[in-house]
């Protein structure tokens, strides 16, 4: 589709002869050749430096031609080589040469000025004001003046002028004759001037500019459409442009320029949502364009307009969707495919089914060569997910991630994790499936989402009881795979898996295998923080096994007096199940036997031996977390071993036996308490000290802090914070002294603790996850879990389908979802605020929230509809304007919605604060409003046209 | 404003024309051009011509060894910008006759003048090749 006009031709290095006047001065052509001579970066920069020093000399020459050439070269360098041109050297000669009577010089100077003037050089711009004024005023020789004024207009439309509102304001009147003859340049310049200094320029320029919309010259109307498209673009408010609707409508139905039509459609796209009758009116012409136009750009613009601005008109939307689908299937043109996806993304929730229809195409686009198309397809896919299809889509996406390049694979995984985890797994109903999906994701080739996967694994474990068996099962597959240990990206996942396996060890089928997996040699590859979790998990497993062993023992000991002999115990235990395979063999490592019964003495001895050989060396470890856990574990194991030795030496002692039972039971108790999610609002339970003003000094940090706060982690942070929490659980048993210290601490710093009385009163707002003050003897066994966990949901039980397991959700967690969007409240552009303020004759300050002001405009529009005559409407507006005091901090605009209330202000309680003003406005209503209007002396541009829109719309 | 900037960049990533319709400091320009050029030059023919970059959308098209990049607002019509690029290239082609990179290097001003005729304040104001080229022809005649 591209032709290539760039066939190599000999260069045309002929510089303009008039510029080579000065002897020895290098022309621009020479300079370009000189720069090209040494293409290396260093060579180029020295060449630029040399040229610049020449230019600085030449530009001070009295001779205009020399100066012009120097300026020309300087422009070239600053434009293409980032030459560090200080504002002065370029700006001043440029302005000097603007006054030149010689057109080429003037042209050069204007080019230099429009390319490179910037705020730093604005102090010079007033010098040019007079010259611009002169160039803009019509002179005798028509042709020449045309060119000259074109140049001046060009400068006015450049960014330099936008930064100099004074200049724009001074020259606004000079634009008028050019506007009246419909010069497109004047129209563009007027748009720039209005944008730069709305208060001064709108009264002068708005009306002539609006008149250009109706100009018979297509160039003028096209330029005017573009100008209004630009002026009404967000963040500016489009409402003041509603009165232009009739002219725009004319243009829409009669113009044959696609450029103009596109711009008009854009403006209507902004106006239609403000005024439903307008939407109804433009549907037909837009549909006709959509059906007939051969130009893809116009077709796409129509689609966009229909989908974003006319979603209520079904036939139009259907037509647009049909066209969008055509785009989607354009095999040979990635541009159209991309735009087709974009169009589908614009569809609102009402047309979700349409997006579903295109699922195959979208899924296919996931594998497109273009990353933009893939990303857009992924976006659409995520938008499609709901409770019914989440398993299909997420499964498909995860399997697709395996085939994608690393970056996109992680985009996919991240999106799936975010969608599934959204609002506490709102969409997930089958947690067994989700847990296995999480492990699949972790095993996915390029997975770099370990942190989030690990977090969710633990979180699901904490919140969803029913998912725990599957969770433990999935964790096992992760833990026993030695290949995963070397992948540092998976550490958080392994850490989570180890924690889950330890915490919910009662669901493990084979604890011995688990201990072996947790202590396999390659765990030395793990970072220390993860090893600590592994060791703690081993601790839990061995405690659990010992406990089971002891319990079983005490059951059977009713028959066999005291089974201190290891073998006899083994036999008694296995009696109930099967005959022991190896009876007399004293060997410790007999896997086949242990598979049969993990709670036999032999298994336990095997585990203890394994622990001693592998954890023992960690006493040398210089990482305290690991060291501490290793010591705890070894200490416990030694205690058990002691008993073992006692047994072996046949010291027949009931006490010893009951002592070890006691020990194991106590340990088990320590670990058996339920850990639940911790509410993010826990902090809020801390009452605020009276004398502290928290907002005072930290308010400035809001921006920085809010970014971090949006991370949706609400459960216990597992890594590496969790060490603390797990440790705490040991405290009551291992060091009772610490709890007394803690209570002292509480006494002294009571302020910073949760009020104890309160937590007792309202039974459990959230589970006492790590409360060390609970007595160690609290025998909350696994059966009690439900009691501790269930009340958590409080009144907020999920209305989920029966099949969906209970998901623990804390009261405060709703605010998570509400918090995130509130963080991105769009900031209003101050410029547009000013434009609107002037256009609507209101002093809205930029800080007022966009939403609120939008509502206010809707209110105005509503009034406009109801108002019978234009004057009445005007009065309404005026009342409104007075009604909204300049203090923009007042967010309430409610009264303006009530169409009937002629004096809406008194219904608002807040108004009491400024009683004088309002009373005036309410009593003297219309007169006062008009007076105010005149006082401010701005805007009428749209007000007089109000009747037009009335006629048009009604 | 619709169009934020127009850039010509060759395959080596050297800028051959830069016209901005909003003010950027030299450092900002350098960073912007570097990033955009890196992004666009890495793309293949099978990929679409639109790249999102910061708050811009960059619409680009490649002709022989030159990339024509136009930075636009997010809601600008991408296809229309592609048409604009093509029109621009055709206009230069008509003026220079088989336009090549060197033509643009040695006649940068003329290219700027053409661009000024076509785009003002980020809006396309002129689409007739004849009208675009008229002032330049006049200028050549007088000088």
Q: With beta carbons under 8 A apart, name residues in chain A contacting B89.
A: 5
Q: Would an 8 Å CB–CB cutoff place B77 in contact with chain A? A: yes
Q: Would an 8 Å CB–CB cutoff place A29 in contact with chain B? A: yes
Q: Would an 8 Å CB–CB cutoff place B134 in contact with chain A? A: no
Coil vs helix vs strand at A925 = helix
**How far apart are alpha carbons A134 and A754 in whole angstroms?**
76
Structure tokens that stand for A377 in this block: 């397809």
pLDDT of residue A75: 83
- To probe the interface with A, which of B61, B111, B115, B120 has the most A CB atoms within 10 Å? B120
| Strand pairing class (B15-20; B3-10) | antiparallel
Please provide the CATH number assigned to the domain covering B3-142: 3.30.450.60
**Omega before residue B81 within 30° of 0, cis:** no
List CB contacts of A498: < 8 A, sequence separation 6 or more.
Answer: A475, A479, A518, A530, A533, A534, A537
Whether B106 and A18 lie within 8 Å, measured CB to CB: no
pLDDT of residue A763: 41
**Domain coordinates in residue numbering, chain B:** 3-142
Nearest by Cα to A147 from B115, B128, B136: B136
Whether B66 and A6 lie within 8 Å, measured CB to CB: yes
Residue B99 has its nearest CB partner, among A5, A154, A257, at A5
pLDDT of residue A933: 43
**How far apart are alpha carbons A575 and A593 in whole angstroms?**
14
Work out the number of other CB atoms within 10 angstroms of the CB of residue A687: 11
List CB contacts of A391: < 8 A, sequence separation 6 or more.
Answer: A430, A433
A66, A21 in Cβ contact below 8 A? yes
Looking from the CA of A132 toward its CB, the CA atoms found within 13 Å total 28
Q: Residue A280 burial by CB count (10 A; 0-12/13-18/19+): exposed, middle or buried?
A: middle
DSSP per residue over A514-531, as a string? HHHHHT-GGGGGS-HHHH
**How far apart are alpha carbons A882 and A914 in whole angstroms?**
12
**What confidence category does residue B72 fall into, taking pLDDT thresholds of 50, 70 and 90?**
very high
DSSP per residue over A837-867, as a string? HHHTT----TTS-HHHHHHHHHHHHHHHHH-
List CB contacts of A620: < 8 A, sequence separation 6 or more.
Answer: none
Shortest alpha-carbon distance between residue B134 and chain A (Å): 11
Shortest alpha-carbon distance between residue B20 and chain A (Å): 8
Give Cα separations from A393 to A386, A456, A788 (angstroms).
Answer: 9, 19, 35
pLDDT of residue B54: 82
pLDDT of residue A796: 38
**Is the pLDDT higher at A62 or at B14?**
B14
CA angle A512, A515, A521 (to 5 degrees): 125
Q: What number is the average pLDDT over the span B129-134?
A: 90
Which of the 8 DSSP states describes residue A829? Answer: P
Shortest alpha-carbon distance between residue A20 and chain B (Å): 13
- To probe the interface with A, which of B121, B130, B132, B136 has the most A CB atoms within 10 Å? B121
pLDDT of residue A414: 93
Whether B123 and A300 lie within 8 Å, measured CB to CB: no
Q: Would an 8 Å CB–CB cutoff place B21 in contact with chain A? A: yes
**How far apart are alpha carbons A595 and A617 in whole angstroms?**
27
Whether B15 and A80 lie within 8 Å, measured CB to CB: yes
Shortest alpha-carbon distance between residue A17 and chain B (Å): 8
Question: How large is the angle between the packed helices A198-213 and A830-839, nearest 10 degrees?
Answer: 70
Asked if the model's pLDDT at residue B90 lies above 90, the reply is yes
Q: With beta carbons under 8 A apart, name residues in chain A contacting B63.
A: 2, 4-6
Shortest alpha-carbon distance between residue A312 and chain B (Å): 21
Torsion of CA B116, B122, B126, B132, to 10 degrees: 20
Nearest by Cα to A239 from A953, A929, A946: A946
Work out the number of other CB atoms within 10 angstroms of the CB of residue A849: 15
Per DSSP, helices labelled H in A1-124 are 28-37, 41-58, 64-80, 87-98, 103-116
Structure tokens that stand for A254 in this block: 């009669």
Q: What number is the average pLDDT over the span B79-103?
A: 92
Give Cα separations from A62 to A89, A99, A319, A338 (angstroms).
Answer: 15, 14, 67, 57
Nearest by Cα to A647 from A636, A656, A659, A638: A656
Tell me how long chain B is.
143
**How far apart are alpha carbons A755 and A772 in whole angstroms?**
15
Per DSSP, helices labelled H in A137-183 are 142-156, 159-162, 165-180
Nearest by Cα to A675 from A843, A581, A809, A789: A789
Give Cα separations from A278 to A245, A316, A361, A597, A930 (angstroms).
Answer: 8, 15, 35, 79, 29
**How far apart are alpha carbons B123 and B117 in whole angstroms?**
11
Q: How far is CA A275 from the centre of its chain?
A: 31
Give Cα separations from A868 to A198, A841, A871, A900, A950 (angstroms).
Answer: 30, 21, 8, 13, 9
**How far apart are alpha carbons A548 and A546 in whole angstroms?**
5
Number of H helices, E strands in chain A: 47, 0
**How far apart are alpha carbons B89 and A919 in whole angstroms?**
64
Q: With beta carbons under 8 A apart, name residues in chain B contacting A29.
A: 106
**How far apart are alpha carbons A108 and A73 in whole angstroms?**
10
Structure tokens that stand for A488 in this block: 């540092």
**How far apart are alpha carbons A787 and A198 in whole angstroms?**
67
Nearest by Cα to B72 from A229, A830, A79, A186: A229
Shortest alpha-carbon distance between residue B70 and chain A (Å): 15
DSSP per residue over A259-313, as a string? HHHHHHHHHHHHHGGG-HHHHHHHHHHHHHHHHH---HHHHHHHHHHHHHH-TT-
The low-confidence residues of chain A, meaning pLDDT below 50, are 1-21, 87, 558-595, 708-737, 756-802, 815-831, 834-835, 838-839, 841-954
**How far apart are alpha carbons A691 and B57 in whole angstroms?**
51
Strands lying side by side in the sheet with B3-10: B15-20, B3-10, B66-72, B56-63, B50-53
Per DSSP, helices labelled H in A293-430 are 296-309, 314-328, 334-346, 352-357, 359-365, 371-384, 390-403, 406-425
Which of the 8 DSSP states describes residue A403? Answer: H
Q: Would an 8 Å CB–CB cutoff place B121 in contact with chain A? A: yes
pLDDT of residue A302: 93
pLDDT of residue A50: 84
pLDDT of residue A830: 46
**How far apart are alpha carbons A604 and A598 in whole angstroms?**
7
Cα dihedral sign, A161-A162-A168-A169: negative
Tell me how long chain A is.
954
Q: Is the ipTM of this complex over 0.90?
A: yes
A893, A884 in Cβ contact below 8 A? yes
Torsion of CA B133, B136, B141, B143, to 10 degrees: -170
**How far apart are alpha carbons A416 and A411 in whole angstroms?**
9
Residue B106 has its nearest CB partner, among A7, A12, A296, at A12
pLDDT of residue A813: 60
pLDDT of residue A807: 79
- To probe the interface with B, which of A259, A289, A303 has the most B CB atoms within 10 Å? A259
Q: How far is CA A421 from the centre of its chain?
A: 16
């Amino acid at each position: 589709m591209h032709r290539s006009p760039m066939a190599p031709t000999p260069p045309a290095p002929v510089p303009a002869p008039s510029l080579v006047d000065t002897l020895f001065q290098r022309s621009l052509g020479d300079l370009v050749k000189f720069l090209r001579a040494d293409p290396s970066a260093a060579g180029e920069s020295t060449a630029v430096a040399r040229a610049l020093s020449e230019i600085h000399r030449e530009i001070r020459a009295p001779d205009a031609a020399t100066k012009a050439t120097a300026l020309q070269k300087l422009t070239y360098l600053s434009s293409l080589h980032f030459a560090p041109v200080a504002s002065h050297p370029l700006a001043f000669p440029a302005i000097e040469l603007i006054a030149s009577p010689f057109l080429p010089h003037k042209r050069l100077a204007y080019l230099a000025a429009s390319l490179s003037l910037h705020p730093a050089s604005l102090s010079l711009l007033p010098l040019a004001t007079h010259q611009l004024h002169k160039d803009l005023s019509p002179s005798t020789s028509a042709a020449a003046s045309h060119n000259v004024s074109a140049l001046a207009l060009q400068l006015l439309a450049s960014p330099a002028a936008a930064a100099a509102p004074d200049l724009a304001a001074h020259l606004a009147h000079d634009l008028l004759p050019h506007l009246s003859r419909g010069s497109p340049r004047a129209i563009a310049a007027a748009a720039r001037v209005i944008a730069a200094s709305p208060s001064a320029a709108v009264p002068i320029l708005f009306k002539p500019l609006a008149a250009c919309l109706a100009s018979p010259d297509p160039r003028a109307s096209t330029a005017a459409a573009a100008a209004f498209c630009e002026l009404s673009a967000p963040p500016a408010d489009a409402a003041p442009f509603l009165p232009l609707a009739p002219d725009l409508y004319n243009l829409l139905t009669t113009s044959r320029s696609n450029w103009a039509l596109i711009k008009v459609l854009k403006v209507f796209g902004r106006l239609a949502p403000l005024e439903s009758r307008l939407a109804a009116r433009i549907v037909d012409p837009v549909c006709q364009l959509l059906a007939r136009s051969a130009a893809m750009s116009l077709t796409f613009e129509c689609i966009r307009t229909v989908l974003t601005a006319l979603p209520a008109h079904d036939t139009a939307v259907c037509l647009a969707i049909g066209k969008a689908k055509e785009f989607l299937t354009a095999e040979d043109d990635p541009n159209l495919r991309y735009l087709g996806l974009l169009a589908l993304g614009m569809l609102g929730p009402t047309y979700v089914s349409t997006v579903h229809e295109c699922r195959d195409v979208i899924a296919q686009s996931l594998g497109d060569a273009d990353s933009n198309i893939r990303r857009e397809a992924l976006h659409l896919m995520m938008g499609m997910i709901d409770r019914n299809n989440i398993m299909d889509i997420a499964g498909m996406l995860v399997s697709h991630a395996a085939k994608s390049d690393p970056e996109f694979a992680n985009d996919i995984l991240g999106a799936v994790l975010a969608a599934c985890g959204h609002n506490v797994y709102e969409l997930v109903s089958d947690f067994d499936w989700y847990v296995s999906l999480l492990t699949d994701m972790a095993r996915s080739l390029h997975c770099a989402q370990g942190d989030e996967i690990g977090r969710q694994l633990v979180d699901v474990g904490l919140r969803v009881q029913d998912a725990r068996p599957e969770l433990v099962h999935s964790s096992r597959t992760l833990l026993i795979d030695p290949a995963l240990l070397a992948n540092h990206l998976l550490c958080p996942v392994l850490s989570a898996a180890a924690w889950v396996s330890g915490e919910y060890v009662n669901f493990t089928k084979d604890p011995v295998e688990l201990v072996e997996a947790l202590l396999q040699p390659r765990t030395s590859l793990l970072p220390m923080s993860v090893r600590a979790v592994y060791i703690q998990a081993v601790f839990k497993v061995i405690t659990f096994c010992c406990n089971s062993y002891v319990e079983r023992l005490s059951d059977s000991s009713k028959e066999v007096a005291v089974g201190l002999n290891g073998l006899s115990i083994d036999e008694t235990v296995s009696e109930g199940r099967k005959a022991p395979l190896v009876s007399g063999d004293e060997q410790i490592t007999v896997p086949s036997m242990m598979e049969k019964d993990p709670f036999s003495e032999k298994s336990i001895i095997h585990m203890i031996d394994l622990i001693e050989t592998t954890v023992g060396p960690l006493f040398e470890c210089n990482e305290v977390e690991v060291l501490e856990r290793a010591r705890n574990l070894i200490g416990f194991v030694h205690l058990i071993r002691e008993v073992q030795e006692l047994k072996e030496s046949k010291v027949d002692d009931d006490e010893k036996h009951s002592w070890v039972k006691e020990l194991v039971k106590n340990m088990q108790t320590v670990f058996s308490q339920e850990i639940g999610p911790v509410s993010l609002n826990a902090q809020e339970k801390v009452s605020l000290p009276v004398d502290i003003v928290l907002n005072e000094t930290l308010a400035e940090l809001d921006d920085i802090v809010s970014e971090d706060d949006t991370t949706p982690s609400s459960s216990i942070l597992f890594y590496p914070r969790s060490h603390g929490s797990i440790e705490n659980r040991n405290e009551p048993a291992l060091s009772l002294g610490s709890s007394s210290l803690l209570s002292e601490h509480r006494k002294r710093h009571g302020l910073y603790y949760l009020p104890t009385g309160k937590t007792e009163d309202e039974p459990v707002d959230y589970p006492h996850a790590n409360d060390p003050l609970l007595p160690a003897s609290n025998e909350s066994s696994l059966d009690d879990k439900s009691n501790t966990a269930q009340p958590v949901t409080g009144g907020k039980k999920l209305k989920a389908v029966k099949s969906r397991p209970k998901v623990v959700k804390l009261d405060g967690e709703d605010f998570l979802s509400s918090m995130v969007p509130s963080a991105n409240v769009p900031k209003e552009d101050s410029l547009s605020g000013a434009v609107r303020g002037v256009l609507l004759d209101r002093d809205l300050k930029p800080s007022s929230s966009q939403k609120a002001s939008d509502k206010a405009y809707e209110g105005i529009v509503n009034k406009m509809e109801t108002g019978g005559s234009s004057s009445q409407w005007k009065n309404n507006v005026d009342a409104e304007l007075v009604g909204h005091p300049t203090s923009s901090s007042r967010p309430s605009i409610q009264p303006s919605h009530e169409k009937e209330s002629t004096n809406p202000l008194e219904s608002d309680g807040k108004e009491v604060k400024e009683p004088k003003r309002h009373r005036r406005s309410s009593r003297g209503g219309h007169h006062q409003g008009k007076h105010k209007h005149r006082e401010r002396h701005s805007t009428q541009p749209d007000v007089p046209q109000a009747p037009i829109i009335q006629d048009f719309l009604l | 404003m619709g169009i934020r900037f127009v850039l010509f960049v060759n395959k080596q990533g050297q800028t051959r024309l830069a016209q901005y319709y909003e003010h950027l400091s030299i450092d900002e320009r350098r960073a912007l051009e570097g990033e955009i050029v890196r992004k666009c030059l890495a793309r293949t023919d099978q990929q679409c011509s639109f790249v999102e970059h910061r708050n811009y959308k960059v619409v680009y098209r490649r002709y022989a060894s030159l990339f024509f990049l136009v930075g636009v607002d997010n809601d600008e019509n991408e296809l229309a910008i592609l048409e604009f690029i093509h029109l621009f290239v055709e206009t230069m082609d008509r003026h220079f006759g088989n336009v090549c990179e060197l033509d643009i290097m040695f006649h940068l001003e003329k290219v700027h003048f053409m661009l000024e005729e076509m785009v003002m304040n980020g809006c396309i104001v002129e689409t007739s090749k004849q009208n675009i080229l008229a002032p330049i022809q006049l200028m050549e005649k007088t000088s």
